[in-house]
Amino acid sequence: MTKISIITIAFNDKEGLKKTFNSVFNQTFQDFEFIVIDGGSTDGSKALIEENQQKIAYWVSEKDSGVFHAMNKGIRVAKGEFIIFMNSGDIFNDDAVLLDIVPELTDRFDIYYGDNYKESPSSKRLKTYPEKLSFSFFYTSSINHQSTFIRKSLFDDHFYYNEQYKIASDWEFFVYTICHKNVPYKYLRRTIAIYDFTGISSNPKFAALYQEEKKDSMQRYFPAFLEDYQEVSELNSKRFLQFQHIKKHRLAYKILKGFISIQLLFLPKMPKKN
């Protein structure tokens, strides 16, 4: 059985697809299955795929209903024991990633995740992850599919990505399998990928949509924690983080406390807790 299936989804991003192809094809470990799911691109991406089809185990270029529909199409045809998504514009951190990681992928764990760089036209920053993935971690963060190797059978045993969501489907999959089903996972002390940080999930305009999708997922799988989730969301709001920053500076915090005390004089008293 093939150990690794690399799945790339793309739509009208020929230059990004070139980057991803070069990164995949330059891996020193080459015993993997490469799958490309294109959403019916009209910018020359299909021709690029055809030029490289001898290196691609399976590809299709046809209209789909979105990112997670395309990812699910890739999962369904994958024959590898583990899947990693390296989407258009994403690349492996270096040519030896698979060579280093594949020997670590054993029957002991179902999810293996490592670090990644988030890259945009103006910045490149390293994102590291904890060895222990707690429920509180998933309140405010998630592991990244470009730097995560997922046992394919998890999708068949639990569920595929939620195609109704635009952003939070991979977050939902990880929080459900890890926190609800307790699947075994392992942190790889390795930087796996450099991912294109210009997509919808990283666009501040869609932050509210992301939170709504996460809230909907929490209601479905973790209803008892929904109120906690809302409170944690508030604690991580920009205003609260600004308050925490001010608190570190004695004079600024003293001025702020004085201002708050004045405001409280004009407000009704807070109800006492039972």
CB 178 within 8 A of CB 133: yes
Residue 72 pLDDT > 60? yes
SS3 of 178-232 = HHHCCCCEEEEEEEEEEEECCCHHHCHHHHHHHHHHHHHHHHHHCHHHHHHHHHH
The model scores a pTM over 0.85: no
Q: With bands split at pLDDT 50, 70 and 90, how would you rate the model's confidence at 93?
A: very high
How far apart are the C-alpha atoms of 154 and 34, rounded to whole Å? 20
Q: Which of 134, 242, 229, 129 is nearest to 187 (CA)?
A: 129
Q: Identify residue 170 by its one-letter amino acid code.
A: D
How far apart are the C-alpha atoms of 71 and 75, rounded to whole Å? 6
pLDDT for res 237: 46
Task: Tell me the percentage of the chain whose pLDDT exceeds 70.
Answer: 82
Residue 240 pLDDT > 50? no
CA atoms within 13 A on the CB side of 196: 19
Find all residues with CB under 8 Å of 39, minimum gap 6, and list them.
9, 10, 11, 12, 61, 62, 63, 64, 70
pLDDT for res 180: 92
Averaged pLDDT score across all residues of the chain: 87
Residue 51 pLDDT > 90? yes
How far apart are the C-alpha atoms of 35 and 122, rounded to whole Å? 30
What is the b/e burial string over 95-123, where b = at least 16 CB atoms within 10 angstroms of the residue's CB? eebbeebbeebeeebbbbbbbbbbbeeee
Residue 64 pLDDT > 70? yes
pLDDT in tens, 143-186: 999 999 999 999 999 999 999 999 999 999 999 999 999 999 99
Q: With bands split at pLDDT 50, 70 and 90, how would you rate the model's confidence at 41?
A: very high
Q: Identify residue 56 by its one-letter amino acid code.
A: I
CA 27 centroid distance within chain: 22
